[in-house]
Structure 1
């Protein structure tokens, strides 16, 4: 079944054409991502699909029989409403409305204002809609997204909290088609991993804009790329997209070289013919013009280059000695000490609100420690890229904004270049350099913010969520630059791929002011945490078995009790059941891994994709039931 159909869509802003006569569709069960360079028109296309922006021409058709939910890149809500009212302010989902009404009636009953007739009516309605599971799902989603206090007014929320509220509202609407614009921005790593797992197994169609490469690889089975005003389709995940895009670029370059060779031959023919146009073969003249256009076609491919020099670091860089910082009763940093060494590349991880940004402000001297000392070396020059977007003068043009910081830039090797040349290297061609700041896209503004940090040639870079809104090409270039960066590097990021590639060790903020120095990258940390949880679960199972054995052992009596009567042995039938369950558990676990791999790889057969998702849910439910029975049987003697 077709859910979304786009045909002949064109959009431009003045002389700048974002996309021209693009067409594509999205069917039931497909999970697609839209990628492209900053300013290519990704967010604009999303807004057009949702009716928030008008196209110049073309048509967007959404199946009228499906539910659609949309999460904006920077969501806003009506003031005067609580988180709870904002999430449940949708009448499109009947089950959602009934659960909301039932929860409200139950709360009133607890406060002595029970309406027994209404409660019974809602109870019956919950039964008929099978909404009890949905009630559980509501609690799970709100809990996983960290929305525990739902009475807070939405106007008091931070950007990250608003994104969580928008995600909760969209997921609980149980849409058939979900549209997401940069869903991982402002989320912590644990929440991103939960959302990744949820979307990869959910029975819905998905169309999203994201630069998170792990997220792309594990959730999508189709990728659309906006490039040079056209749309290209790749039936696969991010790894498949990279492979096929490279092949496409290589083929285009080959075709352009062939066109240039043919153009030279045809140009010679044109020059040898009489000047009067009517005496030449019209079809050949037309073909010549087409060849000329193809041979000298200018693409908008950006070639970013971040070859910059850095100021030399001395022997003393930055020292923290028993630093303490707290606000009221909340302790964020409790006696942390560390001495930075040349070439340190450190990542910072921890849940939102645990003190990561406060820590960066302490290092850079924006705030002072309550106790302890932060000592900076004389040659240390900070470059601090903040999570919040810098406020630019919207009326100024791009090049003038940069010239306020520097007129020339020193690049690798010690040579100096003009600001215009540096902007061109940074993906802002001469034509765009005279564009007013107000006309830059969100990603272009973030790239400008990064440029203004790097232009000062720092030797200690502090990057707080640097990947937000940057396109994949810019991220790849930035990663290559940071790989070779000779100074110190400190990164706070929810982009797991970015962290894994760049950092050598982590400062793990574990709460209550404790910061752990972990020797490894983010994937290493998650693996250690997984092993630790498995070990804790194993110990808990062993303790449970011991407790059950003690409970089942009768108290000592005067007459001796035979060993056979102290612990019940498994019957022959129970032994057979235990062996059968063990075998089925192995088979189901193998099937689950196969299903997850199939769903991640994707397929054009959407009926098959839906069947896989449904079977995965059945397998999970069966595993839960069998594991419980396996534990019961394993307690019996003789097994």
Structure 2
């Protein structure tokens, strides 16, 4: 494909910071490029250079004639006096947008339907909208305009799991013209992997370029380090742990990440699992005992709305659960009720005697008291040493693991960025040595490098973990199970993970009056609810036979997969042989996915 835009040997210095240093790159037709890098590293500035609003000191940026460019920036440029319809549709006549399936898809995917009811109707003005709603309006307008080159700065901000899924599908399926391209800055690793044909990393004035999305980027970056003959200590780093998780996935989930990293097999052969769940659960039990926090027949209300209706949830020692759900369903309120900060309208909350709870909220006001302190002083106020992964860790060591280098530990808290304040909040909580940790949207304002560091730290933390997040990758990475709030007052177990949640929401959207059958997490594994399907003893016996058969087939498939990986490593220099083995491996993955779905169906019948 021909280049739509080229940057040749561009350099840019802002103040004393060298943002770009002799960088050359190109954007071709059909490219979908994800841009990653640390906060403050120059990603947004690079987008401004590509847009032409930021001049460079040296080099040049050229575009093909007639190229249209649209940008979603982090600055709000909407006219507050305009109606939502005007802001989104501009001067388009009703018959123009109503008759265009692409525009209708954007309106439905981002604004809740053709009548824009989600934002108060087409005559509502932009001014009173929340920041998230204004962001959706700006994104919808840009996608409807459909420029040749889309420049997106954190497009998934304020989008829930469904919104991120929709946007990824829209970009991949609707942006198919050969003369179009997308460049997106994102910290959402699932989104990055779903849309990207290439990944750019902005680091130290350079733009490192990789083929593929996040999984391929992690693999290529680790391989570059290996080829450069780095020390064994550097080989044993976060990238290798991340690869180990990407390669192995979670065995109990039906919906694995779409990416497969066959080539990483040799690189991570000796790498242990990111965390030893059995050992952590055992340690968590010794710290917590059998009783953690129970919500018994609990009802939670806000005003005249019932968010949770007569649900029972018994948290287990070492449980790692992600909570997903529609906006307004009560995810944060549920966390506060578990923490004891919201009284139950009915039912009972029980807390074990040994519970030491820590709660990361979405607010950073708690740091105002220490705004004049240095980072290290704000941490050591809590404690100077803590236990992590069975080892004593100093406040300074833990701070370094979460991105606060030695000099950065001496910065005043009031001078920190939003992402740094978020990290400091988590650090102070971890220094308290809690055994129950509640995290409400922990990924806010964090870059990918910091996210992987946070996950690495929590891999070695033994306790009960509950996470509310729209970050699909984080939920799959950090949690062993997911539950959903679908707005019907119930807590729904998701053995199929986020993919099952999206399927349930799709079914719910087709039958909006239907209340999906649901069970509370404590009861899901033991007995069907009154509304559940009743199966005959003969059906259950047959299902048990199916389970045994499927489990044997999965074992055989796993053994065959290992053999194929070994053969691919041995035939690394024979491209035709590797291609043949790759095709065989893809068929095997499809078979395993189908077997896992069959296993879940049989398990549901067995009960």
Shorter-chain TM-score tier: 0.5 to 0.7
Which residue number corresponds to residue 28 of structure 2? 27
Correspondence for 1:82: 83
Query: 2:589 maps to what in 1?
Result: none
Structure with greater contact order relative to length (CA < 8 Å, sep ≥ 6)? 1
- Residues 379 and 431 in structure 2, CA contact (< 8 A), matched pair in contact too: no
- Say which one has the larger Rg: 1
2-structure distance, mates of 1:5, 1:243: 27
Q: Deviations over 1:494-540 (max 9, x none)?
A: 22222223333332212132222334532355578889999xxxxxx
Aligned-partner Cα distance in 2 for 1:420–1:14: 30
Specify whether residues 524 and 86 from structure 1 end up closer, same or farther in structure 2 by C-alpha distance, changes over 3 A only: closer
In structure 1, the partner of 2:109 is 144
1:495 aligns with 2:471: yes
Is residue 379 from structure 1 mapped to residue 354 from structure 2 by the alignment? Answer: yes
- Listed one character per residue, the Cα deviations across residues 7-57 of structure 1 (whole Å, up to 9, x for unaligned) are 344445655444422221212221111112333222332344445656565
Unaligned segments of structure 2, at least 5 residues: 234-273, 511-607
Determine the structure 2 residue equivalent to 1:194: 166
Question: Structure 2 matches for 1:103-182, cutoff 5 A?
Answer: 103=94, 133-134=99-100, 136-145=101-110, 146=112, 147-148=116-117, 149-182=121-154
Counterparts of 2:461 and 2:352, CA distance in 1: 19
Please give the secondary structure, in 2, of the residue aligned with 1:6: strand
Aligned ranges 1:454-465 → 2 under 5 Å? 454-465=430-441
SS of 1:387's equivalent?
coil
CA positional deviation for 1:239? 3.0
Q: Does structure 2 retain, via aligned residues, the 8 Å contact 1:306–1:478? A: no
Return the alpha-carbon distance in structure 1 between the equivalents of residues 371 and 22 of structure 2. 32
State the alpha-carbon separation in 2 of the partners of residues 306 and 256 from structure 1. 20
Q: Give the distance between the partners of 1:512 and 1:321, measured in 2 at CA.
A: 18
Unaligned residue ranges in structure 1 (runs of 5+): 90-96, 104-122, 258-304, 535-639
Q: RMSD value over aligned CA atoms?
A: 3.8
Structure 1's 532 and 76: CA in aligned 2 closer, same or farther, altered over 3 A?
Answer: closer
Structure 1 residues 249 and 498: CA distance shift in structure 2, 3 A: same
How far off is 1:487 after superposition? 0.8
1:22 match: secondary structure: strand
| TM-score when normalising by structure 2 | 0.65
The verdict on how the C-alpha distance between 1:532 and 1:369 changes in structure 2, with shifts beyond 3 A counting, is: closer
Which residue does the alignment assign to 2:558? none
Deviation at 1:178, TM superposition (A): 0.8
Matched, 1:3 2:8: no
Structure 1 residues 235 and 432, CA gap change in structure 2 (3 angstroms): same
CA contact (8 A) 1:306 1:481 kept: no
Instruction: Give the structure 2 partner of residue 609 of structure 1.
Output: none
Compared CA separation, residues 173 and 399, structure 1 to 2 (3 A): same
- What count of residue pairs does the alignment treat as equivalent? 453
Assess if the C-alpha contact under 8 Å between 1:342 and 1:487 holds in 2: yes
Q: Distance in 1 between matches of 2:408 and 2:424?
A: 12
Residues 422/169 of structure 1: CA separation in 2 closer, same or farther (3 Å cut): same
Answering whether residue 284 of structure 2 is matched by residue 319 of structure 1, we say: no
Distance 2:192 2:324 in 1: 21
- 1:82-119 CA deviation, whole Å, 9 max, x = no partner? 32232235xxxxxxx2x2xx33xxxxxxxxxxxxxxxx
Structure 1 partner of 2:599: none
Give the conservation status (yes or no) of the 8 Å contact 2:162–2:502.
no
Task: Please report how far the alpha carbon of residue 472 of structure 1 lies from its aligned counterpart in structure 2 after TM superposition.
Answer: 2.7
Corresponding residue to 1:402 among 378, 403, 406: 378
Structure 2 CA distance for partners of 1:2 and 1:156, relative to 1, 3 Å:
same
Q: Secondary structure at the match of 2:82?
A: coil
User: How far 1:436 sits from its partner (Å)?
Assistant: 4.8
In structure 2, C-alpha distance between the alignment counterparts of 1:58 and 1:369, rounded to whole Å: 63
